[in-house]
Amino acid sequence: MTKRFLSLVLAFLCGSFLTFGQERKPNVLLLMADDLNTALSGFGHPQCKTPQLDELAKRGIRFENMHCQYPVCGASRASMMTGLYPYTNGMLGNTGNLRENLPDVVTMSQLFRNHDYLAGRVSKIYHMGIPPEILAGTADHDDPPSWDETVNIKALEQNAPGVRTEWSPGDKGSQTFTGVEASTGDLEHADGMAAEAAIEFLKQNQERPFFLGCGFVRPHVPLVAPSKYFDIYDREAMIAPVVPEGDLDDVPGIIRDYKSISRYGVTPELHKGLLEAYYASISYMDAQVGRILDTLDELGLSENTIVIFSSDHGYLLGHHNKFQKQHLFEEATRVPFILSVPWMKDTHGEATGHLTELIDLYPTVAELAGLTPPKGLPGTSLIPLLKNPSTDKWSKDLVFTISRSGGESIRTADWRFTHWGFGKKGEELFDRKNDPGEFTNLAKNPEYAAKRKELKALLEAKRDEAGYDPAIYQ
């Protein structure tokens, strides 16, 4: 028997299980990874190993078509926590101030705080500069009204002792792919410290309903993890994404060379090491998730705690010969998302392929806790999918993501349409049913003129709904 299973049995025998509808309000535990694409074994990735998150998925629902609203940390996190599109809350990157834009906004955790919950934050929930703010132990872009208690993490990051390698030697910026096979243990690095702080929060706050946001910084660069997580992987066996020759020849020039492989100097051999370091960082983060979930079980809190796991956005690792974020390909917009509601056991372990967005989280957790969210939130409660992941009554038929350089994109079940420069700098049209890799841009193909026109109209209608104002953004 596993430690977690024994803990659950003990909690049951002690009569400490609580069910939804009893006097005790449900707790909320939000676990956030940073710069994580869907490289989880439970999401079908053939190489990355995430056993703890796979176990969480067995206790909830995998959302396999969840998309962010802006593939960069600050904008995406502010959107998720406010339940608002970036055009509405004015957070369009890693700069700006949410409270200056919307002084009276009630964020997701703030709603719970306003209803007698203890709201806590550990490490990165809103934007933080990584690695500088972990090195300094700060959180300059946090939103204080969202929390009662906060814990910032200070760690060595790329300065940790161990074997350090530059996997992208051509890039001299702050986001270069530095890998460190650290000689120190889990608790000497940022995510281990974050898990420890989250565990302490849980131990100290068992008697009061809580909303705890715990942010992990891996696999954001630098790719730092104890060496034992590197040992899980065979570097020479790492498989880089397959990219057709001339893949980017047909995409608009404004984005064609942005964060392309030529900037990073990643050779095929270096690419293997880069992937190993990225996956090792994920496995390290995954282990810290497991420690927190074990504590929930040991304290008898599991049956009354909603657990959410997500990343802020996707990430390119050589897909389309590009790296990192702020693109509008599928690998950048799609995020791994798991929602575990302990009393909705009938669908545990299942997955849904319906289109969903991170703004859907706010109305969902509010409804699960019996709270009334602010009026006008554009998201849709995910509860119908929690009850029946394959329901034919889910009405959301497109998701909307924006990015730098006036990039805007909609994703439907079978298509992706993207334009740049707010429609003035080029377009992309991908038939995802026949071209799931988004390799062939059909925007200029006359055979698809009607489909392009149809999707462009849908995008323009959605951008208006999302708060787009041409007087501000053009």
Got the DSSP string for 397-436? --EEEEETTTEEEEE-SSEEEEESGGGTS-EEEEETTT-T
Neighbours of 348 (CB within 10 A): 15
pLDDT, tens digit (0-9, with 9 covering 90-100), for 55-78: 999 999 999 999 999 999 999 999
Task: Please indicate, yes or no, if residue 399 is contained in any of the structural domains.
Answer: no
Task: Please indicate, yes or no, if residue 249 is contained in any of the structural domains.
Answer: yes
Token readout for 3 is: 């430690």
Share of the chain above pLDDT 70, in %: 95
Polymer length of the chain: 474
Strand ranges of the sheet holding 427-431, from the earlier edge strand across to the other edge? 399-403, 407-411, 415-419, 427-431
Which residue of the set 73, 214, 220, 320 is catalytic? 73
User: Is 68 marked active-site?
Assistant: no
pLDDT, tens digit (0-9, with 9 covering 90-100), for 1-59: 455 544 444 444 333 333 343 468 999 999 999 999 999 999 999 999 999 999 999 99
Task: Please indicate, yes or no, if residue 367 is contained in any of the structural domains.
Answer: yes
The per-residue pLDDT for 210 is 98
pLDDT-derived band of residue 174, with 50, 70 and 90 as boundaries? confident
Total count of domains within the chain: 1
Say which residue the tokens 């992706």 belong to: 416
Task: Please indicate, yes or no, if residue 104 is contained in any of the structural domains.
Answer: yes
pLDDT, mean of residues 219-228: 98
pLDDT, mean of residues 372-395: 97
Task: Please indicate, yes or no, if residue 105 is contained in any of the structural domains.
Answer: yes
Task: Please indicate, yes or no, if residue 4 is contained in any of the structural domains.
Answer: no
DSSP reduced 3-state for 79: helix
Which residue of the set 67, 127, 313, 327 is catalytic? 127
Task: List the beta strands (DSSP E) in 152-219.
Answer: 162-166, 178-182, 210-215
pLDDT, tens digit (0-9, with 9 covering 90-100), for 119-169: 999 999 999 999 999 999 999 999 999 999 999 999 999 999 999 999 999
Neighbours of 344 (CB within 10 A): 17
The per-residue pLDDT for 233 is 98
- Domain span at residue 48? 24-391
Token readout for 165 is: 């390698």
The per-residue pLDDT for 9 is 44
Neighbours of 3 (CB within 10 A): 11
The per-residue pLDDT for 47 is 98
Q: Could you tell me if 344 and 386 are in contact, meaning their C-beta atoms sit under 8 angstroms apart?
A: yes
The per-residue pLDDT for 4 is 54
Token readout for 160 is: 């940790």
Q: Could you tell me if 163 and 227 are in contact, meaning their C-beta atoms sit under 8 angstroms apart?
A: yes
The per-residue pLDDT for 14 is 37
pLDDT-derived band of residue 474, with 50, 70 and 90 as boundaries? confident
Q: What kind and span of H or E run contains 32?
A: strand 27-33
Q: What type of residue is 421?
A: G
Q: Mean pLDDT for the chain? A: 95
The per-residue pLDDT for 22 is 44
pLDDT, mean of residues 241-247: 96
pLDDT, tens digit (0-9, with 9 covering 90-100), for 286-298: 999 999 999 999 9
Q: Report how far apart, in Å, the C-alpha atoms of 357 and of each of 258, 397, 425, 443 are.
A: 25, 11, 26, 25
Token readout for 434 is: 């026949």
Task: Please indicate, yes or no, if residue 397 is contained in any of the structural domains.
Answer: no
Task: Please indicate, yes or no, if residue 440 is contained in any of the structural domains.
Answer: no
Spatial separation of the C-alpha atoms in residues 145 and 460, rounded to whole Å: 34
Question: Is the backbone peptide bond immediately before 131 cis, with ω within 30 degrees of 0?
Answer: yes
User: Is 127 marked active-site?
Assistant: yes
DSSP structural state of residue 305: E
The per-residue pLDDT for 383 is 98
Neighbours of 355 (CB within 10 A): 18
The per-residue pLDDT for 23 is 62
Q: Could you tell me if 354 and 337 are in contact, meaning their C-beta atoms sit under 8 angstroms apart?
A: no
> What is the CATH classification number for the domain harbouring 78?
3.40.720.10
Q: Could you tell me if 49 and 65 are in contact, meaning their C-beta atoms sit under 8 angstroms apart?
A: no
